[in-house]
Structures are given as structure tokens and as C-alpha cells.
Structure 1
């Protein structure tokens, strides 16, 4: 056979390479010897670990309570200090709520749950036996966790898990009420003048040239003192002028524009991003967030991207002074389509 002590591929500790006939067979080394932990041999150590896990779960509970103190207890004023206090309590509360549960479960598994390795052979599937085996596995898992005989850990874990999601619920609830019919109504109404955003200057039809695009708000927004941001967010419009022959209005919408001037909601019907890009040559409106593309010549029909609904059109005309005005409000809700619109 020859001497392979120089490390050739047929040596005892080498890896076989292509072209060599001799391949060593690796034997299954088996499971490593099990090393007992201190908690496995010392009841006092096990009890101490149990208390540590419980304290970690209690820290999680305290973190959740701290969050609510910051959320409901700190009243914001015009000072930056109060805002910093609230943000500190909110951040620390959520951090300790999540950290307490995560660290507690990890410490519980490392110190108290069985850690021996098990190897099982794969057996042919038998429906009833598999069901019984699955039930037995679940029972074994519950038994190995020790949750039945360690009520302190069980009760503190239940408390921590029950309270931990509440900060997230509070944060999401603070985003505002469900839209309902709110987006069905904006500041636009019959006779409302179209004004430039943001200075609020009314727009005459003669100001709008072919290929131009205006970001438009209702003129009455200038006189609004409360809820101005929310009202503007719903009512913003894009105003453009095309050759009238390039437009293809559907039946009933022939008079929704004026000499090729049309107005559409600026709010993308995908997730509500502002549609702010107008391609003059193709007459396409683009949403920069997810690249939804709307064809202006086909009543802003979606031709690309994740949006599934055209941009709502604002019916417009001109008043006796030549200013562009709305004929009415939008005929459908503005904004994204991911809630029930009824």
C-alpha cells in the first residue's frame, strides 16, 4: 500500500480526492458526554435560577408599566424637556419589556430546562402512531420546561406576556381612527378656487400652459386655523394641461376638465404617498415610493406598479373671472385602497 505518513489523500486523517480509490470511512462519534449543570445537582442553585427568571419577567412587567406612565402620565407642553422625558420613558419601557421576556426565557432554557441531546431514528409513518407520538412529544416538552411544577415562573411569564403587547397596541391606536368615510369628503366644493401650493394664490386657466403641472390646494385652506394639515393632506391636487385631443374621458366625464386642463388627487391609491412626478412626453404620473404609474390620457388609469385604482379626478371649470374652480368634491374617496370602503 505504501507509506502515507506524508499526508497523502489516503492517509488516515486526510480528505479523499478525486482519482483515489482508497476512501476512509468515518465512524459515527456518537453523542458527547453530558455535563451536568449546577442547577441539575444543587437544589438551591435551581431555586436561585428560578427566582432570577421570575425577576426578569417582573422587569418586563415593570417596563410595560413605565411605558404607560410615559404615554399617559406625561403631559406634553411647549418645552423640549417634557418631550425628552416622555421619549425616554417610552423607549426605556419598551426596551425593558422586551428585554425582560427575552432574557428570562433564554435564562430559563439554559439553567432549568433539560439540555441533554437526543438522537432518534426515522420510522415509517403510521397515522395513529404518529398522532400519539406527536401528543407524547408535546407532553414531553411541557414536562421538560417544568412549567407545571414551577408556578412562580409560569405566573410571572403569563403576566409579562399579557402586558408586553399593550405598548404596541397603544402606539398603533395613536396613529388615529380608522378612516371610515373621512376620506370621502375634502375641502373641495362647488365654486372653490384652485390655488397654488403653498402660497395659496388662485390660478387662472390662462396661467396653465400645455405641459405644465401645478401643485394645487383649495383657496379656503388659507383661512383654516385648526386641522389645516389634515385637510391639506386630503385635498392636495395635481393640475396639468394637455392637448384636448389627447384626453379620452369616459361617458359622463366629458366636462370634468377645461380646454385640456385636468386635476387629479395627488395621493397615490397604493399606500398614500404623494404622486409628484409628471412625464410631459408620455403624460404619465409617477409615484416615487413604489413606482406606481398612472396614464393621464386615460383618466389616470394604473399602467404599472402595485396601485390597483386610478387617481380620483376633481371636476373643474372656470368662473366669471377666468379662475379655475371645482365643480364639486371628489366623487370617490381619495387615498389608498387597503381598508374597507363600503
Structure 2
């Protein structure tokens, strides 16, 4: 009877793992997957407790060794006792088989969600879609030309071909030409605030500052995006650009540092 109870618990554990696998492949609710795993774990615990209490030998024997090595007859007797105990432990072969099946099913259920992992992040936080030669484009895809913006104006831009990449969004602004003569007054800064990643969408032309409306971090565009005030802890990354022979603005490289807020691996 006791062996049957342990066997029943192992069967329930196997069934719980099977239910989890079925729920996973059929797109079942996470609630059902969690309940199935909980059922499996509870049944395995019950089987382990029942096995320990009912099936394992409980006799404790202490045999003092007076001389070493023991006499041949004594060694033979002890060897026979050990073999008998091993046979007693392994006697329920059907239960041992059920145990292996239940553990294998549980391991498969635990390993299965690995299939749902996305691609490794690699170094995506360190780079954007800006590259050497990437044209500066408006959100509609049109390239920005050198005479498009008035002085003290600003617009949102993306690298051509990556108009929907949030990591690459940037603010293109134009200051008086004498403040940035090599690019006719054009500057590009990342639009991701270095505090919490909110969009730095406000350009205060009189002060030559970009401001994040979320937590009021302010950056000086004439000082390579240095923090003027607010909770941001490092400068707003500036994108190096140049004017192409056809009069369009192009990047000369990616941002020199990761954009957005700080993270553990950021140097």
C-alpha cells in the first residue's frame, strides 16, 4: 500500500510536467503553467517524504571494530548485510523507474522555457544605427540639407534607413555659424536623456540649451552637452557630422559613447 502511494505521487508529478509542457506549446495561460509546475513540485516532495519514511531501512546498527582488519568471517557477514540493505533499497524497481521518469519530465519542463529566450543582448546598448556616411533624415525619410533649418531652430532626426529605431533618435539644431563654423552651425545630440531615457525634446535657443521635460535635466549644447542642471549624471552624447558635397548632412561615425541612461557595463 505504501509503495502504491509513493508510485501515485510520482505519477502525479509526471502528469504535472506533461500538463506544463502541453500548456506551453498550446499557448496556455501562465497561470496554468505555474499551477502545473507547483503540482509537480508538490508531488515530488510527497514522493520523497513517503520514500524516506516508508521504504528506506530505519534500523541503526553500531558495530565496534576491536581489531583491524576484521576477521574474514566478520567481513563476509558485513558484506552480506550491506548487499542485503542495497537490495532492500532497490527492491521497488517499478518505483525506481517511475522516479526516473518523473525527474526526467520535471527537468524537461524546467528546461523548456529556454526556447522562449530572445537573442543575447550582445553590445546593442553601446551602439546605435548611426554610421560613417549615414545621411541625416527627417522622420518622413527626407534628407536634411544645409539650408533647411533656420538659425536657433531644432528638429528630430534619424539615420536614413533606420527611421523607427528609438535608440538612434537625435535632435538636430542650428546655432549661429560662428559658434560651429565647420558644420555651418549644425549640431546633433542624442535625444535620449542620460537620466532616465526620456526624450530631450525642448531646445531653449536663447540659452543654447536642450532640456528634458520629464525631470528638467538641462544640457549645454555649446559645451558638448554638459549637464547644466537636473538629475542627469553625464553629458548628452554629441554625434559628429559633416556636410556632404551634395549639401546634405551626414554622420562621420556613431556616437562616441553609449546613449541614454547609465547601465552597469557603461564605462
Normalised by the length of structure 2, the TM-score is 0.58
Does the alignment pair 1:323 with 2:248? Answer: yes
Q: Equivalents in 2 of 1:296, 1:162: separation in Å?
A: 56
Q: Give the C-alpha shift of residue 166 in structure 1.
A: 2.7
Give the one of 18, 31, 34 matched to 1:62: 18
Match of 1:194 in 2: 136
Q: Equivalents in 2 of 1:96, 1:156: separation in Å?
A: 22
* Aligned positions, number: 222
Match of 2:27 in 1: 90
Q: Is the 8 A contact 1:58 1:100 kept in 2?
A: no
Structure 1: state its 5+ residue gaps: 1-42, 71-88, 114-141, 222-227, 248-253
Does the alignment pair 1:101 with 2:37? Answer: yes
Alignment of 1:227-246 (within 5 A): 232-242=165-175
Alignment of 1:66-81 (within 5 A): 66=22, 70=25
Q: 1:171 to 1:237 in 2, by over 3 A?
A: same
Q: Give the C-alpha shift of residue 196 in structure 1.
A: 0.3
Helix, strand or coil at the partner of 2:256: coil
Q: Equivalents in 2 of 1:170, 1:148: separation in Å?
A: 35
Q: Is the 8 A contact 2:14 2:40 kept in 1?
A: no
Helix, strand or coil at the partner of 1:102: helix
Q: 1:53 to 1:146 in 2, by over 3 A?
A: closer
Q: Equivalents in 2 of 1:189, 1:59: separation in Å?
A: 58
Q: Is the 8 A contact 1:57 1:156 kept in 2?
A: no
Q: Equivalents in 2 of 1:58, 1:338: separation in Å?
A: 42
Q: Give the C-alpha shift of residue 238 in structure 1.
A: 1.8
Over aligned residue pairs, what C-alpha RMSD do you find? Answer: 4.4
Q: Equivalents in 2 of 1:154, 1:256: separation in Å?
A: 75
Give the one of 129, 137, 145 matched to 1:204: 145
Structure 2: state its 5+ residue gaps: 56-94
Q: Equivalents in 2 of 1:47, 1:229: separation in Å?
A: 65
Q: Is the 8 A contact 2:192 2:200 kept in 1?
A: no
Q: Is the 8 A contact 1:257 1:317 kept in 2?
A: yes
Q: 1:105 to 1:215 in 2, by over 3 A?
A: same
Q: Equivalents in 2 of 1:180, 1:258: separation in Å?
A: 34
Residue by residue, what CA displacement relative to the aligned partner does 1:315-337 show, whole Å, maximum 9, x if unpaired? 12334454333233322344565
Match of 2:201 in 1: 277
Q: Is the 8 A contact 1:98 1:164 kept in 2?
A: no
Match of 1:166 in 2: 111
Q: 1:52 to 1:213 in 2, by over 3 A?
A: farther
Q: Is the 8 A contact 1:256 1:316 kept in 2?
A: no
Q: Is the 8 A contact 2:14 2:106 kept in 1?
A: no
Q: Equivalents in 2 of 1:285, 1:160: separation in Å?
A: 56
Normalised by the length of structure 1, the TM-score is 0.48
Q: 1:157 to 1:286 in 2, by over 3 A?
A: farther
Residue by residue, what CA displacement relative to the aligned partner does 1:171-227 show, whole Å, maximum 9, x if unpaired? 23x2x233237844634314x431101x211223433235533221223x1xxxxxx
Q: 1:341 to 1:60 in 2, by over 3 A?
A: farther
Helix, strand or coil at the partner of 1:216: strand
Q: Equivalents in 1 of 2:102, 2:252: separation in Å?
A: 61
Q: Is the 8 A contact 2:171 2:188 kept in 1?
A: yes
Q: 1:104 to 1:66 in 2, by over 3 A?
A: closer
